């Protein structure tokens, strides 16, 4: 049994099971977790079962509560898809097969760690300081688990409210959101396990994953990077044949996806008779207003964004602060507008609210309310020039009003790039994003008082969010001022906090909604659409490719949104 009679735990037991992933993934997870434990100063004992599963035992000098042990194991499970946390999730019956135990299929559990080393590790055990170092290393995963727990409690409360409302005459129950789970295709890419009723062989499962990568505009180098990272299950499906088969199968996937995209486009499908031919462009983006201003040169767009940034920090931020709580969202909406301009080299915004909703991590209904407000308070910077109709969204033009031209030239441009909500702040919130921007783009390392003055956020709220970012090793305090920790990658941190998954699901949901809307518009052209023609999860579910270059990543995400 893992738990003592008082419910405490003196040994963390990590069960890497081949029923959750292929043996190659299990071995990779064991090496990854072993390196993480050693980096934290924790010694462990390892054994192996006949089925290829692994057990890692981390003995502790001081007992910890069952809840704390469960939280740590679940956090480690975010790093290793083959880790089964169930032994620590049941205080009464949680158990694990120790080295030397008989296996149900015959044979015994085999000790990998040398016997003398294992005896010394189990005798000396690990100090509390090493466990604290592990908690610090797992800070993003622990934070994500806490947020998931709060959302689960909120869903449970909503379900109870709905149940109560259902028993009350004259009321209608609401539907609580379901917990998020990986799709079967993503599970196959991460673990190598797949539904044999859908895919008859490893080859078919591989091609399904590759088709999806091709539909998300990945490159073969990005596929290789994914196989070496979070999608180790795909590498396990290849075994030792990846170098030989991947180029061939990737070419097939690209050809199939190109054919699939054209056949899903109603305008390109041969028909005996057609009705009125609407603009049946691909549903990846909403836009294309017929009214637009003449294109500006790249240099002109770059200079315009620089001038608008100066106006934003000098005047517009203070005006938006007066809008109260909604002012924070407006400040990031104008930042997302400028980021879109710089990335796409245009001052015409002919994309829908869902595009900016993805950029800001908000709902598209919220963006539809914010855009008219921003137009009203922007003093002529943002102007709507055409109303949306059919497939086309409202069209806005961004310009520098005459009253701000002299002001824009007087101020020097701040270092760094302007951003919408970077993925990590979808989890940490807008206040944390403002504080991080104040540190990143400040002319000198600011104090908390400096940030409160420049951001307009209360010192109490700032202190709370600064402490959270410091715990995640995003920033650090040095001689009373705040500095960016350059070694902490925001892209990797967003992945560990679950922000990347959240954004991918939002993009996928919006693609479904756009496809449904376009199908409704095309009802006179196509009297009937099959379900797979409206939405195919093997093509239309969005997965973000691994990209190190931040500018290229922003360009791809704007297009995907």
> Using one digit for the tens of pLDDT, what is the confidence trace for 440-464?
888 788 999 999 988 888 999 999 9
Tell which residue, 539, 517, 557, has the closest CA to residue 280.
517
Tell which residue, 213, 229, 184, has the closest CA to residue 25.
229
Confidence of residue 197 (pLDDT cuts 50, 70, 90): confident
**Considering the chain, what is the average pLDDT of its residues?**
82
Continuous segment of H or E residues that includes residue 63: strand 54-65
Tell which residue, 226, 198, 230, has the closest CA to residue 214.
226
Whole-model pTM: value is 0.72
Range in 133-142, 170-179, 229-238, 321-330 with the lowest mean pLDDT: 170-179
- Check residue 414 and give its pLDDT: 67
Range in 32-36, 38-42, 191-195, 417-421 with the lowest mean pLDDT: 417-421
Q: Is the dihedral of CA 427, 431, 433, 436 positive or negative?
A: negative
> Using one digit for the tens of pLDDT, what is the confidence trace for 122-175?
999 999 999 999 999 999 999 999 888 888 888 777 777 766 665 555 444 333
Count of Cβ atoms closer than 10 Å to residue 403 Cβ: 11
> Using one digit for the tens of pLDDT, what is the confidence trace for 522-543?
775 555 555 555 455 555 566 6
pLDDT at 46 over 70: yes
Count of Cβ atoms closer than 10 Å to residue 454 Cβ: 17
Overall average pLDDT of the 199-210 stretch: 90
pLDDT at 34 over 90: yes
More confident residue, 100 or 443: 100
Confidence of residue 547 (pLDDT cuts 50, 70, 90): low
More confident residue, 252 or 421: 252
Tell which residue, 339, 358, 366, has the closest CA to residue 511.
358
Dihedral, CA of residue 461, residue 463, residue 469 and residue 470, to nearest 10 = -170
CA atoms within 13 A on the CB side of 466: 25
Confidence of residue 274 (pLDDT cuts 50, 70, 90): very low
- Check residue 309 and give its pLDDT: 86
Q: What is the DSSP letter of 429?
A: -
- Check residue 408 and give its pLDDT: 79
> Using one digit for the tens of pLDDT, what is the confidence trace for 472-505?
999 999 988 999 998 988 888 988 998 888 888 8
pLDDT at 469 over 60: yes
């Amino acid at each position: 049994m893992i738990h003592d009679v008082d419910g405490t735990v003196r040994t963390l037991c990590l069960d890497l099971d081949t029923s959750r992933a292929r043996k190659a993934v299990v071995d990779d997870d064991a090496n990854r977790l072993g390196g993480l434990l050693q980096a934290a100063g924790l010694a462990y004992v390892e054994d192996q079962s006949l089925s290829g599963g692994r057990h890692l035992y981390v003995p502790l000098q001081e007992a910890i509560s069952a809840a704390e042990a469960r939280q740590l194991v679940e956090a480690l499970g975010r790093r290793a898809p083959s880790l089964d946390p169930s032994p620590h999730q049941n205080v009464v019956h949680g158990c694990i097969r120790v080295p030397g135990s008989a296996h149900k299929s015959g044979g015994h559990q085999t000790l990998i760690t040398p016997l003398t080393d294992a005896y010394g590790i189990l005798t000396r055990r690990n100090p509390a300081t090493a466990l604290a170092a592990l908690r610090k290393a797992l800070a993003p995963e622990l934070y994500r688990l806490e947020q998931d727990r709060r959302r689960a409690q909120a869903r449970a409360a909503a379900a109870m409210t709905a149940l109560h409302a259902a028993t009350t005459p004259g009321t209608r129950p609401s539907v609580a959101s379901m917990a998020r789970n990986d799709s079967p295709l993503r599970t196959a890419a991460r673990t190598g396990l797949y539904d044999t009723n859908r895919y008859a062989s490893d080859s078919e499962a591989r091609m399904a994953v590759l088709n999806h990568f091709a539909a998300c505009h990945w490159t073969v180098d990005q596929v290789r990077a994914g196989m070496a990272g979070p999608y180790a299950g795909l590498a396990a499906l290849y075994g030792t044949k990846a170098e030989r088969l991947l180029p061939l199968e990737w070419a097939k996937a690209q050809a199939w996806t190109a054919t699939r995209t054209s056949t899903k486009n109603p305008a390109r499908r041969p028909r005996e008779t057609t009705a009125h031919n609407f603009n049946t462009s691909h549903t990846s983006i909403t836009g294309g207003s017929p009214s637009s201003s003449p294109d500006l040169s790249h240099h002109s767009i770059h200079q315009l964004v620089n001038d608008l940034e100066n106006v934003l920090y000098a005047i517009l931020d203070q005006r938006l602060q007066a809008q109260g709580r909604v002012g924070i969202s407006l400040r990031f909406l104008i930042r997302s507008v400028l980021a879109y301009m710089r990335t796409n080299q245009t001052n015409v915004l002919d994309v829908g609210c869902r595009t900016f909703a993805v950029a800001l991590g908000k709902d598209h209904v919220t963006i539809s309310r914010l855009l008219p407000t921003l137009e009203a308070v922007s003093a002529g910077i943002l102007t709507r020039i055409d109303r949306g109709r059919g497939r086309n969204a409202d069209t806005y033009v961004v310009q520098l009003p005459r009253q701000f031209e002299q002001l824009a030239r007087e101020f020097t441009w701040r270092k760094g790039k302007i951003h919408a909500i970077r993925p990590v702040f979808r989890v940490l919130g807008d206040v944390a994003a403002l504080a991080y921007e104040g540190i990143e783009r400040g002319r000198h390392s600011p104090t908390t008082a400096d940030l409160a003055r420049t951001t307009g956020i209360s010192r109490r709220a700032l202190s709370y969010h600064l402490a959270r970012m410091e715990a995640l090793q995003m920033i650090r305090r040095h001689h009373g001022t705040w500095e960016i920790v350059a070694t902490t990658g925001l892209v990797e941190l967003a992945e560990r906090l679950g922000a990347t998954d959240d954004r991918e699901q939002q993009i996928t949901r919006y693609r479904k909604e756009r496809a449904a809307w376009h199908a409704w518009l095309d009802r006179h052209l196509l009297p009937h659409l099959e379900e797979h023609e409206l939405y195919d999860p093997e093509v239309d579910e969005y997965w973000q490719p691994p990209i190190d270059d931040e500018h290229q990543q922003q360009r791809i995400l704007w297009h995907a949104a």
